[in-house]
């Protein structure tokens, strides 16, 4: 059997590069048919254009855009609902249609906390998991095509120790009193993927998101790090693995 086909489901342009860019570059090089679905920022908006450039760097064709609005930026899709306010069933149906067309062996999205608690990330996690289950159920959304069973889900996450390191090196300051500490305990992580050989490609893809590089304090701090420290932060990506059929599918 050849390399598995993989669908990444992300909330915003830049998430695909920042959290999974090394994985994307690595599996594309290994021959995986790879697609990226992004829930917010409709086609033609500046950040969608940046996303297309970033994916080109990573070796992926144009993104699939659901076209919902980013919760903080109504201009991202002026005629559409914000992702967290959309009709859940409508969004699930959209993702199901793409799953049934693409027939991925693996679907990748965020962990249940959206890595660090972003509401759009959490919503995307919920939508993706619901869609993977629904895509395998023929009586649901029959108009979306024949049922398709993905073999495994991979949930992008970050170890708690690395979250502490990120907060120390690139966040704007200490967490507020009583704030939830994000991150996954080391023992719960199923896959620690070395992407150091693709870290320059990953950083170039992150840099293609120019508007976020200019706007985000965390990305500004990341860009200010010396290359060795930045590469150390970006050179590993982590996942929780959930097999949906016996044996599942390896991401690498």
Instruction: Please tell me the least confidently modeled range out of 161-165, 168-172, 236-240.
Output: 168-172
- Give me the pLDDT at residue 177, please: 47
Give the global pTM: 0.95
Pick the closest to residue 166 from 240, 221, 228 (CA basis). Answer: 221
By the 8 A CB rule, do 16 and 48 touch? Answer: no
- Give me the pLDDT at residue 181, please: 75
Give the mean model confidence (pLDDT) for residues 150-165.
Answer: 95
- Give me the pLDDT at residue 1, please: 66
Domains of the chain and any CATH numbers: 6-243 (3.40.50.10320)
Token digits for 102? 């693409």
By the 8 A CB rule, do 181 and 175 touch? Answer: yes
Checking if the pLDDT of 97 tops 80, the result is yes
């Amino acid at each position: 059997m050849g390399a598995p086909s993989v669908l990444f489901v992300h909330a915003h342009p830049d998430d695909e590069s920042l959290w999974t860019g090394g994985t994307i570059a690595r599996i594309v090089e290994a021959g995986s048919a790879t697609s990226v679905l992004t829930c917010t920022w409709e086609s033609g908006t500046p950040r969608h254009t940046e996303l297309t450039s970033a994916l080109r760097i990573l070796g992926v064709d144009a993104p699939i855009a659901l076209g919902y609005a980013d919760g903080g930026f109504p201009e991202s899709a002026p005629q559409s609902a914000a992702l967290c306010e959309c009709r859940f069933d409508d969004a699930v149906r959209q993702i199901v249609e793409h799953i049934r067309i693409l027939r991925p062996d693996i679907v990748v999205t965020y962990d249940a906390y959206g890595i660090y608690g972003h509401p759009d990330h959490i919503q995307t996690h919920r939508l993706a998991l619901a869609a993977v289950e629904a895509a395998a159920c023929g009586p649901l959304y029959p108009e979306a095509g024949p049922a398709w069973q993905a073999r495994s889900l991979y949930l992008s996450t970050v170890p708690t120790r690395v979250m502490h390191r990120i907060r120390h090196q690139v966040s704007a300051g200490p967490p507020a009193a009583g704030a939830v500490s994000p991150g996954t305990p080391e023992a719960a992580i199923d896959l620690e993927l070395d992407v150091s050989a693709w870290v320059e490609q990953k950083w170039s893809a992150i840099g293609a998101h120019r508007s976020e590089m200019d706007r985000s304090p965390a990305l500004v701090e990341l860009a200010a790090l010396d290359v060795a420290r930045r590469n150390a932060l970006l050179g590993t990506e982590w996942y929780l693995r959930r097999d949906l059929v016996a044996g599942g599918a390896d991401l690498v």
